[in-house]
């Protein structure tokens, strides 16, 4: 929670979105290969 206070909400949302995209790519690679 301390990091949340330092990083702006927009940055936090961007990080969560990037993490979601990375997870989706990992799932895609597992399904394809």
What is the length of the chain?
Answer: 33
CB-CB contact of 24 with 16 (8 Å): no
Tokens of 22: 């990375």
Q: What is the pLDDT of residue 15?
A: 77
Sequence-distant (6+) residues with CB within 8 A of 15 are: 7
Q: What is the pLDDT of residue 19?
A: 87
pLDDT tens sequence across 1-33: 555 566 566 666 777 788 889 999 999 999 987
């Amino acid at each position: 929670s301390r990091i949340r206070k330092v990083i702006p909400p927009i940055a936090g949302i961007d990080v969560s979105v990037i993490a979601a995209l990375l997870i989706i790519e990992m799932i895609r690679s597992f399904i394809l290969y």
